[in-house]
Structure 1
Amino acid sequence: MASRQVSGDDWWRGAVIYQVYPRSFQDTDDDGIGDLKGVTRRLPHIASLGVEAIWLSPFFTSPQADMGYDVSDYCDVDPMFGTLADFDEMLGEAHRLGLKVIIDQVISHTADRHPWFVESRSSRTNGKGDWYVWADPKPDGTAPNNWLSIFGGPAWEWDGVRKQYYMHNFLGSQPDLNFHNPEVQDAVLDAARFWLERGVDGFRLDTVNFYFHDKHLRDNPPLVPDPDATSNDAPDVNPYGMQDHLHDKSQPENIAFLARFRALLDRYEGRMTVGEVGDGARSLKTVAAYTSGGDKLNMCYTFDLLGPDFTATHIRRCVENFQEAVTDGWVCWAFSNHDVTRHVSRFARNEAERERVARLAITLLSSLRGSICLYQGEELGLPEAELAFEDLRDPYGIRFWPSYKGRDGCRTPMVWEHAAANAGFTAGKPWLPVPEDHRRLSVDAQQTGDTVLDHYRATLAFRRSQPALSDGTMRFLDTNSDLLAFVREKDGERLLFVFNLTREPLEFLAPSAVEPLELPGYPARPEAGSIRVAGLSAFSGKF
């Protein structure tokens, strides 16, 4: 089954995007690491889900200190993933199957092996001397200010050649570009143009609010905790979350650059951008600024639904906060990605609940107003992998172990064939272990019967069949705080959705006569205006 064909400049509005983490998707050369040929081989599986697009995590030339999010050449493929010809083949096959292709652009920083940085650090007077954020030490030799790295420690690294510090929001080997320099902006736009000319359909902009820093290098103040915040900058074991990041990111100059990026994309037909915004309690304000006016980003996602809270109150607050803050922008919702614990493990209280949670989560996600992003393996109901310390590859997890185990648990290889070596991912030694408890959830084991994979396909087909779910309005209905109830409406058609995220059956009083919809996996019939919704279950109808 091919994915439905999508066209037009606004194809992304309401689209379902499937994230591929290439090094863990499919290996074809037996080196234990997935590659672009592997993505091409498995595109029919992605298309069979009924999604509109794929998002590829970085495959560019890189030292791989941060699994490819440290780029040393923006315009080439790292040999571990293949070649530019392999990329072109993958792109062509995706388009043949009706799938758009979105690629990561990691432009807030580069690898320290990038030729730009090699030249920049060679002297203070070279042609790229101010392409990165350099600063003199304080008189006592300490760092210029109190800014912290998300990956631990100060956001400053000393360089003995220049006798200056350079800024890094992540690893010390990921120096931050200086976007106050117009030549830097031109260079990263040229890199984006390279891929646009190759035919990519859009970009996921990594850490899009990190591009600019405060020119005056002012200290960040301590964070005043906000009990109503729905998103945090870092796990509570990381001191990064103790600062209010007023000066090291989300600077006003970013607006003009994003307008430049959009102007480039508008020269090509049907291209889009989705930005990753991590800005604590200010995330929605930042999203509003970045997506308003139709001249910057097409949409953004935040970390609001990527935490542990799977309750009606939390989800309603996140959506209503977005609707209030972002009046003319667009959002991309997700429960999982390559940076967070898989949502089946976050939301389920025990192993027995995992399948029910997996089914309910995709049904809920598919009902929200916005585009949605799925992460490879969630369509199988994969839980987070439990890994030993010696198996970890993620520098974030290694730095904060054991209080924080990092991101490797959601990055283990995709499972394709339950009886094959390494579940069909590779004939070599996989770069991360393949958990044995993932085997029974392999793609081949879920092709027939009432499985999570079958439920995903049916649910996404249901979403496509209802125009109101693509871009209709959304309003919540008042009910008890344990139930989540809302109406999606378009062209006079009103769809009711009721979700019970508790473990006990609950009654919902319908606002008027309701005609039940055949919501995949959740047959229900209202009686005398009352709808009984089982625990971890849902109901939908027209009225």
Structure 2
Amino acid sequence: MSDFAQAATETDKDWWRGCTIYQIYPRSFQDSNDDGIGDLIGIVERMPYIASVGVDAIWISPFFTSPMKDFGYDVSDYCDVDPIFGTLADFDMLIDAAHGHGLKVIIDLVLSHTSDQHPWFQKSRVSREGPMADWYVWSDAKPDGTPPNNWLSFFGGSAWHWDPRREQYYLHNFLASQPDLNLHSEAVQSALLGVTRFWLDRGVDGFRLDTVNFYFADKELRDNPALPPEGRNAIHAPRVNPYNYQEHLYSKNRPENFDFLRRMRVLLDEYPAATTLGEVGDAQHGLELLGQYTSGNDYLHMCYAFEFLAQEPLTATRIAEVLYKVHQVANDGWAAWAFSNHDVMRHASRWELSPAAQRLYATLLLCLPGSACLYQGEELGLEEADVPFEDIQDPYGVEFWPEYKGRDGSRTPMVWETHERNAGFSEGEPWLPISHEHAHRAVDVQEHEPGAILHHYRRALAFRKQHPALISGVQDGVYAFGDVLHFRCIHDDETLFCAFNMSDTPSVHALPGGDWETIGQEVGGANKSPDGRLHMGPWQVCIARLID
């Protein structure tokens, strides 16, 4: 167990600062009962592997009871495990296994909406006068029968669905089967905080808060204004989706959210080492919200936006722009960075990265200020899987095919043993097909290849833990010099200079003033030449330490 993980397990309430988090999509990680769907015991079985990668925590996507219209992000019981994933006893075993390996456990909480099968919604839709009548966002139709305003669903079409029982519309920012909760109701807030406490008492170390900026809708249900074409930045939604035609001024990002986040933080502070990681889903204002939601000690601990999850190529200039803006709008906050997750195309394919480029991006991610999230299979260099339309499960992909193929290409099962049935994921038929290309990059193959990218990730994670400046240092001197990005990380007595040649062309780069020694050769670092400059090869990194 690393010193960092040991400290986090025993005493450190700030373990989340600079931590590395491994995201697990449980349907696709490991199947223990051969039904073709991954489960909690499967995660337990693979816990030694996760610990061997060198991360500090795991984030598990939803495993709660659900009809699975959106694969767990439509919850019908917040306080139980869906039978396809196991039982509460299995979850307790998972907590024990993770903690036994020095790993924290973060679970995915979906608090902005539920499934339409949730008992809360079933009671809310019965009558306009019942005890839960106001637990969801309901509204009368306009005089002509059309929806109450122009809000659009993230999955296409109107964000309003007519319910014949109440003869009213209900709001759904996502699928029609995912009605939005009304957090203006004190009772709803208290119920959600009760859910949070339930899992804290069960031993979780924190929460990834899904769509954290969607919690409140405008009480007056005012129309969203149009977004000019030049502002349609489709970071997290395909450009074919009209959702990107609006400035979502009233359907999300509401100021009332701060009061609720403050209530949640008060609860979290009763459990001194618990943390929160917020997902900020907004193409125009994500970084500003990240800064606001993590400012001070009243709201969330960490947030991530989608600037580095976008389709746009991640050039040296683009990274410098984002980091500069973070310094402007979130200097008092705490960012968590990711290049891949379950909602976007895997970054190896999204940016068409060569093996050398993939190694540079891995090192870069682990040198960025803040915390870092890795997505299962990223450490294997997996590319986006090609899933035929007849096998597509994602409702997003079904709706917008073929212009947008959905998210299933990043959700196919993990590959463990090349020559085993279904690459060691399951003896049963997998819920999504195993990628043939992925099978050749299985864990067992890479374990025996010293040059495999899996070992590069391990070295980069170990290197990060050896240097406090990378874990919790202050960053300055961010600059893009052509295709070379550089910055400094400073923590107490340690100052590091990091440079990344993000191109196929060699580059000569000068070190800042002072006496520097190059380090990090194990992660592809270049050495300083006799003339004191850095002669960096294509896709090469240089990390140097200031000598007193």
Instruction: Please indicate, yes or no, whether the TM-score normalized by the shorter chain is above 0.5.
Output: yes
Shift of 1:398: 0.6
1:515 aligns with 2:517: yes
Query: Which residue number corresponds to residue 85 of structure 1?
Result: 89
- C-alpha separation between the residues in 1 aligned to 2:544 and 2:328? 26
- C-alpha separation between the residues in 2 aligned to 1:479 and 1:62? 46
Query: Which residue number corresponds to residue 282 of structure 2?
Result: 279
Q: Is the contact made by 1:232 and 1:241 (CA closer than 8 Å) also made in structure 2?
A: no
**Distance of aligned partners of 1:63 and 1:484 in 2 relative to their CA distance in 1, 3 Å threshold:** same
- C-alpha separation between the residues in 2 aligned to 1:168 and 1:19? 26
* SS of alignment partner, residue 333 of structure 1: strand
What letter corresponds to residue 361 of structure 1 in structure 2? Y
**Distance of aligned partners of 1:307 and 1:232 in 2 relative to their CA distance in 1, 3 Å threshold:** closer
Query: Which residue number corresponds to residue 524 of structure 1?
Result: 526
Query: Which residue number corresponds to residue 53 of structure 1?
Result: 57
1:117 aligns with 2:121: yes
Instruction: Give me the CA root mean square deviation.
Output: 1.4
Shift of 1:477: 4.8
Q: Answer with 511-520 or 465-474: which moved more.
A: 511-520
- C-alpha separation between the residues in 2 aligned to 1:4 and 1:75? 28
Q: What TM-score do you get using the length of structure 2 for normalisation?
A: 0.96
Shift of 1:230: 7.6
* 1:270 aligned to which of 270, 273, 285: 273
Shift of 1:429: 0.1
- C-alpha separation between the residues in 1 aligned to 2:539 and 2:350? 15
- C-alpha separation between the residues in 1 aligned to 2:338 and 2:481? 25
* SS of alignment partner, residue 526 of structure 1: coil
Q: Is the contact made by 1:231 and 1:304 (CA closer than 8 Å) also made in structure 2?
A: no
Shift of 1:231: 6.9
Q: Is the contact made by 1:462 and 1:519 (CA closer than 8 Å) also made in structure 2?
A: no
Q: Is the contact made by 1:157 and 1:166 (CA closer than 8 Å) also made in structure 2?
A: yes
- C-alpha separation between the residues in 2 aligned to 1:158 and 1:497? 55
Q: Is the contact made by 2:235 and 2:309 (CA closer than 8 Å) also made in structure 1?
A: no
1:68 aligns with 2:72: yes
**Distance of aligned partners of 1:14 and 1:523 in 2 relative to their CA distance in 1, 3 Å threshold:** closer
- C-alpha separation between the residues in 2 aligned to 1:487 and 1:226? 34
* 2:246 aligned to which of 213, 237, 243: 243
**Distance of aligned partners of 1:326 and 1:233 in 2 relative to their CA distance in 1, 3 Å threshold:** same
Shift of 1:392: 0.4
What letter corresponds to residue 378 of structure 1 in structure 2? E
Query: Which residue number corresponds to residue 352 of structure 2?
Result: 348
**Distance of aligned partners of 1:233 and 1:363 in 2 relative to their CA distance in 1, 3 Å threshold:** closer
Q: Is the contact made by 2:526 and 2:540 (CA closer than 8 Å) also made in structure 1?
A: no
Shift of 1:520: 2.3
* SS of alignment partner, residue 113 of structure 1: coil
* 2:331 aligned to which of 323, 327, 332: 327
Q: Is the contact made by 1:503 and 1:536 (CA closer than 8 Å) also made in structure 2?
A: yes
Q: Is the contact made by 2:138 and 2:168 (CA closer than 8 Å) also made in structure 1?
A: yes
1:379 aligns with 2:379: yes
- C-alpha separation between the residues in 1 aligned to 2:16 and 2:147? 43
- C-alpha separation between the residues in 1 aligned to 2:489 and 2:462? 17
- C-alpha separation between the residues in 1 aligned to 2:533 and 2:70? 53
Q: Is the contact made by 2:277 and 2:303 (CA closer than 8 Å) also made in structure 1?
A: yes
* SS of alignment partner, residue 286 of structure 1: helix
**Distance of aligned partners of 1:9 and 1:356 in 2 relative to their CA distance in 1, 3 Å threshold:** same
Shift of 1:341: 0.3
Q: Is the contact made by 1:233 and 1:241 (CA closer than 8 Å) also made in structure 2?
A: no
What letter corresponds to residue 450 of structure 1 in structure 2? G
* SS of alignment partner, residue 184 of structure 1: helix
What letter corresponds to residue 404 of structure 1 in structure 2? Y
Shift of 1:279: 1.8
- C-alpha separation between the residues in 1 aligned to 2:396 and 2:80? 26
Q: Aligned pairs, how many?
A: 538
1:168 aligns with 2:172: yes
Residue pairs, 1:424-503, within 5 angstroms:
424-448=424-448, 449-478=450-479, 480-503=481-504
Query: Which residue number corresponds to residue 256 of structure 1?
Result: 259
Q: Is the contact made by 2:236 and 2:344 (CA closer than 8 Å) also made in structure 1?
A: no
- C-alpha separation between the residues in 2 aligned to 1:143 and 1:196? 39
Q: Is the contact made by 1:358 and 1:378 (CA closer than 8 Å) also made in structure 2?
A: no
Query: Which residue number corresponds to residue 358 of structure 2?
Result: 358
- C-alpha separation between the residues in 1 aligned to 2:478 and 2:533? 15
1:15 aligns with 2:19: yes
Query: Which residue number corresponds to residue 6 of structure 1?
Result: 7
1:218 aligns with 2:222: yes
What letter corresponds to residue 509 of structure 1 in structure 2? A
- C-alpha separation between the residues in 1 aligned to 2:120 and 2:242? 31
Query: Which residue number corresponds to residue 177 of structure 1?
Result: 181
Query: Which residue number corresponds to residue 157 of structure 2?
Result: 153
What letter corresponds to residue 470 of structure 2 in structure 1? L
Which 4+ residue blocks in structure 1 deviate beyond 6 angstroms?
none
What letter corresponds to residue 144 of structure 2 in structure 1? D
Shift of 1:116: 0.3
- C-alpha separation between the residues in 2 aligned to 1:418 and 1:538? 32
- C-alpha separation between the residues in 2 aligned to 1:480 and 1:230? 26
- C-alpha separation between the residues in 1 aligned to 2:479 and 2:165? 64
Shift of 1:226: 5.3
Structure 1 residue runs without a partner (length 5+): none
- C-alpha separation between the residues in 1 aligned to 2:193 and 2:98? 25
1:504 aligns with 2:505: yes
* SS of alignment partner, residue 293 of structure 1: coil
Shift of 1:363: 0.1
- C-alpha separation between the residues in 2 aligned to 1:230 and 1:465? 38
* SS of alignment partner, residue 6 of structure 1: helix
- C-alpha separation between the residues in 2 aligned to 1:130 and 1:34? 36
- C-alpha separation between the residues in 1 aligned to 2:439 and 2:283? 37
**Distance of aligned partners of 1:37 and 1:530 in 2 relative to their CA distance in 1, 3 Å threshold:** same
* SS of alignment partner, residue 509 of structure 2: strand
- C-alpha separation between the residues in 2 aligned to 1:290 and 1:231? 22
1:27 aligns with 2:34: no
Shift of 1:420: 0.4
Q: Answer with 477-486 or 58-67: which moved more.
A: 477-486
- C-alpha separation between the residues in 2 aligned to 1:374 and 1:515? 29
1:413 aligns with 2:413: yes
Shift of 1:38: 0.1
Q: What TM-score do you get using the length of structure 1 for normalisation?
A: 0.97
Q: Is the contact made by 1:417 and 1:444 (CA closer than 8 Å) also made in structure 2?
A: yes
Q: Is the contact made by 1:479 and 1:508 (CA closer than 8 Å) also made in structure 2?
A: no
What letter corresponds to residue 291 of structure 2 in structure 1? A
Shift of 1:224: 2.7
Shift of 1:9: 1.0
- C-alpha separation between the residues in 2 aligned to 1:90 and 1:519? 36
* SS of alignment partner, residue 268 of structure 1: coil
- C-alpha separation between the residues in 2 aligned to 1:89 and 1:176? 32
* 1:134 aligned to which of 127, 133, 138: 138
**1:223-275: CA deviations, max 9, x gaps?**
13556x98735221110011000000010000000000011111112000010
- C-alpha separation between the residues in 2 aligned to 1:22 and 1:107? 19
Shift of 1:290: 1.0
Q: Is the contact made by 2:40 and 2:94 (CA closer than 8 Å) also made in structure 1?
A: yes
1:206 aligns with 2:210: yes
- C-alpha separation between the residues in 2 aligned to 1:340 and 1:402? 16
Q: Is the contact made by 1:6 and 1:98 (CA closer than 8 Å) also made in structure 2?
A: no
